[in-house]
A = this chain, B = another copy of it.
Amino acid sequence: MQKQQTLSRNQKIIFDLIDKSPEPMKAYSILFNVQKKGIKAPLQVYRALDKLIEIGKIHKIESRNAFIACQNSSCQISKATAFSICESCENVSEISNSKLSKYLSNFADMSGMKYNKYNLEFFGLCKKCKSK
Protein backbone atom coordinates (compact mmCIF):
# COMPACT_ATOMS: atom_id res chain seq x y z
CA MET A 1 0.00 0.00 0.00
CA GLN A 2 1.30 3.40 -0.89
CA LYS A 3 1.19 6.24 1.56
CA GLN A 4 -1.99 8.23 1.11
CA GLN A 5 -1.18 11.73 -0.01
CA THR A 6 -3.22 14.66 1.15
CA LEU A 7 -4.01 16.86 -1.79
CA SER A 8 -4.06 20.61 -1.46
CA ARG A 9 -7.09 22.59 -2.51
CA ASN A 10 -6.04 23.26 -6.11
CA GLN A 11 -4.65 19.77 -6.50
CA LYS A 12 -7.93 18.25 -5.35
CA ILE A 13 -10.06 20.41 -7.63
CA ILE A 14 -7.95 19.50 -10.62
CA PHE A 15 -7.60 15.84 -9.78
CA ASP A 16 -11.36 15.46 -9.30
CA LEU A 17 -11.98 17.02 -12.69
CA ILE A 18 -9.51 14.76 -14.49
CA ASP A 19 -10.70 11.72 -12.58
CA LYS A 20 -14.29 12.29 -13.64
CA SER A 21 -13.39 12.88 -17.28
CA PRO A 22 -13.97 9.94 -19.60
CA GLU A 23 -11.05 11.04 -21.73
CA PRO A 24 -7.63 12.61 -21.21
CA MET A 25 -7.86 16.33 -20.55
CA LYS A 26 -5.64 19.06 -21.93
CA ALA A 27 -4.20 21.68 -19.65
CA TYR A 28 -6.13 24.62 -21.03
CA SER A 29 -9.35 22.69 -21.05
CA ILE A 30 -8.72 21.97 -17.39
CA LEU A 31 -8.06 25.64 -16.83
CA PHE A 32 -11.30 26.61 -18.49
CA ASN A 33 -13.22 24.13 -16.38
CA VAL A 34 -11.84 25.26 -13.03
CA GLN A 35 -12.00 29.00 -13.52
CA LYS A 36 -15.32 29.15 -11.74
CA LYS A 37 -13.55 27.63 -8.72
CA GLY A 38 -11.00 30.42 -8.62
CA ILE A 39 -8.12 28.85 -10.49
CA LYS A 40 -7.41 31.51 -13.06
CA ALA A 41 -3.92 31.06 -14.42
CA PRO A 42 -2.14 28.37 -16.45
CA LEU A 43 0.60 28.14 -13.89
CA GLN A 44 -1.82 27.13 -11.17
CA VAL A 45 -2.94 24.26 -13.37
CA TYR A 46 0.54 23.18 -14.38
CA ARG A 47 1.75 23.24 -10.79
CA ALA A 48 -1.07 20.99 -9.68
CA LEU A 49 -0.50 18.70 -12.66
CA ASP A 50 3.21 18.42 -11.86
CA LYS A 51 2.46 17.43 -8.30
CA LEU A 52 -0.26 14.96 -9.26
CA ILE A 53 2.08 13.33 -11.75
CA GLU A 54 4.86 13.18 -9.17
CA ILE A 55 2.69 11.30 -6.70
CA GLY A 56 1.26 9.07 -9.38
CA LYS A 57 -2.38 10.18 -9.27
CA ILE A 58 -2.35 11.17 -12.92
CA HIS A 59 -0.20 10.50 -15.97
CA LYS A 60 0.66 12.59 -18.97
CA ILE A 61 -0.06 11.11 -22.38
CA GLU A 62 3.01 12.49 -24.05
CA SER A 63 1.91 12.07 -27.63
CA ARG A 64 -1.27 14.01 -26.91
CA ASN A 65 -0.19 16.57 -24.33
CA ALA A 66 -3.08 15.41 -22.21
CA PHE A 67 -3.59 14.14 -18.70
CA ILE A 68 -5.43 11.10 -17.43
CA ALA A 69 -6.16 9.80 -13.94
CA CYS A 70 -4.23 6.71 -12.96
CA GLN A 71 -6.40 3.68 -13.46
CA ASN A 72 -4.33 1.47 -11.17
CA SER A 73 -5.35 2.95 -7.85
CA SER A 74 -3.89 0.19 -5.74
CA CYS A 75 -0.35 0.26 -7.04
CA GLN A 76 2.39 2.77 -7.51
CA ILE A 77 3.34 2.60 -11.16
CA SER A 78 3.91 6.20 -12.06
CA LYS A 79 7.39 5.16 -13.15
CA ALA A 80 6.18 2.38 -15.38
CA THR A 81 3.32 3.47 -17.56
CA ALA A 82 1.70 1.96 -20.61
CA PHE A 83 -1.27 3.18 -22.58
CA SER A 84 -3.34 2.13 -25.52
CA ILE A 85 -4.53 4.93 -27.75
CA CYS A 86 -7.13 4.71 -30.48
CA GLU A 87 -6.01 6.83 -33.42
CA SER A 88 -9.56 7.21 -34.62
CA CYS A 89 -11.65 8.15 -31.57
CA GLU A 90 -8.68 9.11 -29.36
CA ASN A 91 -9.89 6.87 -26.58
CA VAL A 92 -7.03 6.19 -24.17
CA SER A 93 -6.75 3.55 -21.52
CA GLU A 94 -4.01 2.58 -19.16
CA ILE A 95 -2.62 -0.88 -19.67
CA SER A 96 -2.18 -2.86 -16.53
CA ASN A 97 -0.41 -6.07 -17.44
CA SER A 98 2.03 -7.53 -14.99
CA LYS A 99 3.93 -9.55 -17.58
CA LEU A 100 4.49 -6.46 -19.67
CA SER A 101 5.56 -4.34 -16.74
CA LYS A 102 7.86 -7.06 -15.48
CA TYR A 103 9.39 -7.47 -18.91
CA LEU A 104 10.00 -3.75 -19.32
CA SER A 105 11.13 -3.09 -15.77
CA ASN A 106 13.77 -5.77 -16.17
CA PHE A 107 14.78 -4.73 -19.63
CA ALA A 108 18.49 -4.15 -20.02
CA ASP A 109 20.53 -3.73 -23.14
CA MET A 110 24.16 -3.24 -23.89
CA SER A 111 24.15 0.48 -23.30
CA GLY A 112 25.13 0.10 -19.66
CA MET A 113 22.20 2.22 -18.74
CA LYS A 114 20.15 1.61 -15.62
CA TYR A 115 16.56 2.43 -16.34
CA ASN A 116 14.37 3.66 -13.52
CA LYS A 117 11.34 4.68 -15.52
CA TYR A 118 9.59 4.02 -18.78
CA ASN A 119 6.57 5.14 -20.73
CA LEU A 120 4.99 3.10 -23.49
CA GLU A 121 2.24 4.18 -25.85
CA PHE A 122 0.51 1.75 -28.18
CA PHE A 123 -1.51 3.05 -31.12
CA GLY A 124 -4.21 1.37 -33.12
CA LEU A 125 -7.92 1.13 -33.56
CA CYS A 126 -10.17 0.26 -30.68
CA LYS A 127 -12.83 -2.41 -30.96
CA LYS A 128 -15.56 0.08 -31.83
CA CYS A 129 -13.59 1.93 -34.47
CA LYS A 130 -12.28 -1.28 -36.01
CA SER A 131 -15.80 -2.51 -36.74
CA LYS A 132 -16.83 0.64 -38.55
Expressed in whole angstroms, the Cα–Cα distance for A92 and B111 within the complex equals 11
The closest CB in chain B to the CB of A125 belongs to B114
Tell which of B63, B86, B117 touches A119, judged by Cβ atoms closer than 8 Å. B63
Confirm or deny: A39 has a beta carbon within 8 angstroms of a beta carbon on chain B: no
CB-defined contacts of A95 to chain B, threshold 8 Å? 109, 111
Number of interface residues of A (CB under 8 A): 31
Interface residues in A44-83 by Cβ distance below 8 A to B read: 62-63
A123–B127 contact, CB under 8 A?
no
CB-defined contacts of A112 to chain B, threshold 8 Å? 126-127, 130
CB-defined contacts of A104 to chain B, threshold 8 Å? 120
Tell me whether A118 and B115 are in contact in the complex, defined as CB-CB below 8 angstroms, given that A62-B62, A100-B107, A107-B100 are known contacts.
no
The closest CB in chain B to the CB of A112 belongs to B127
Minimum-distance CB pairs A-B, first 5:
A62-B62, A117-B123, A115-B124, A112-B127, A115-B122
